[in-house]
Structure 1
Amino acid sequence: MQLIPKVAAVLLLSVLCLPAAAQKIKLVDGDPAVLKDQKELNVEFTYDHLSVGKDSEEDYVQKKTAEYNKKEPGKGDTWAKAWVADRASRYEPKFDELFNDNGDIKAGSFPNAKYTLIFHTTFIEPGFNVGVARKNSYIDAEVLIVETANKGKTLAKISVDNAPGRMMGFDFDTGMRITESYAVAGKKLAKFLGK
């Protein structure tokens, strides 16, 4: 009986002590200085060709939906709807909120702004929390700064790698962990563009 709590404690400590990959934001091409003196920045989010863990998004959603439906009929269908709905209801608003809290330019839905930031999520690691063990979420993205009136004209391209969703405690909900990844990405990107 004494062995189980000790094993659980060792597992928990080993997961918590894993080195976390640091987020990297890097200018790939162009010059984001065009944003200097701008008051508003239109932000759009895209999710085309998204990979989730080791799968394509389509395969991941099919697998998780079937897994949850097997445990409880309808649960997987509800989860699949939330997987998509969380983008507009959780991830994107949190990104904008933290971007605005940490930068000099107001980001959000501003279709009349001179420039648009396109945040294209390319990878999501949803992580997990099963009580005695957990893994943080993280996202990778490609960021384009374009002219709003001519979105084919890219003025700057930035890579965002390993934006972590580090939460301690009761983050059993996948969406909660991923929301934190978008919050971190928004905060760090605002600081990067403000340099």
Structure 2
Amino acid sequence: MKPKFLRATLLVMTTACLSLTALAQKIKLKEGSLDVLKNETSINIEFTYDNMAVGKFDKEADYVNKKKTEYNAKEAGRGDRWEKAWIDDRKNRFEPNFIELFTKHAEMTDSKKAKYTLIFHTTFTEPGFNVYVTRKNASIDAEVLIVETANKSNVIAKLTLDNAPGRTFMGNDWDTGERISESYAKAGKSLGKYIK
């Protein structure tokens, strides 16, 4: 292969890969306007997980019960520990990762006293998997509401965030929580940039 052709081929392939990555996650403003946030330096951030679908399951409870039963069948108590970690990871890993990257890229601080609140409602979680020979990245979908902190029924804006990918570049993501944590980090970064 000639060097010029090889370079052109590599350039096209690299551009295609970057384009696919950029298109993988989508943020859309569905209602309202983000103009009220222009001069705000802080925002209150809250998370909800009600009616969340997980993987092939329409109800999170069905997914959790299946995994818990499978793990307990392999080793007594393992499923119970997994279930606890599944819930604890929200406060310990997912939410801090989101907040850290959102505030950095939106150039805002997280404050309970802020005039506006961002409610990040996860509607779907794909936990993904990594079993040595094959893997599937995690991802999340969410509905995002910007509301008045003093009157949360007053919705200023509604956005959707689809397919925030969760993957680690070294492939060292055997832990479900690690993969999903990366999805929240990516979602925080992208949403912060979008709002900025």
Length-normalised TM-score, structure 2: 0.87
Would you say how many aligned residue pairs link Structure 1 and Structure 2?
Answer: 175
CA shift digits 1:69-111 (9 cap, x unpaired): 01111000000000000000000000001112212212x3x22
CA distance in 2, matches of 1:149, 1:100: 21
CA distance in 2, matches of 1:137, 1:72: 25
| 2:95 pairs with 1:88 | no
Equivalent position of 1:142 in the other structure = 143
| 2:192 pairs with 1:175 | no
AA aligned opposite 1:141 = A
Equivalent position of 1:68 in the other structure = 71
CA distance in 2, matches of 1:143, 1:158: 5
Q: Percent identity?
A: 60
CA shift digits 1:140-180 (9 cap, x unpaired): 00000000000000000000000000223210000000000
The CA RMSD measured in Å over matched residues stands at 1.3
CA distance in 2, matches of 1:172, 1:181: 15
Equivalent position of 1:189 in the other structure = 191
Q: Secondary structure at the match of 2:164?
A: strand
Equivalent position of 1:26 in the other structure = 28
CA distance in 1, matches of 2:191, 2:38: 15
Q: Secondary structure at the match of 1:145?
A: strand
AA aligned opposite 1:124 = T
Equivalent position of 1:11 in the other structure = none
Conservation of the 8 A alpha-carbon contact between 2:167 and 2:173: no
CA distance in 1, matches of 2:43, 2:103: 10
CA distance in 1, matches of 2:173, 2:143: 26
CA shift digits 1:45-72 (9 cap, x unpaired): 0000000011110000000000000111
CA distance in 1, matches of 2:115, 2:124: 28
Task: Pick from 19, 23, 38 the counterpart of residue 40 of structure 2.
Answer: 38
| 2:122 pairs with 1:121 | yes
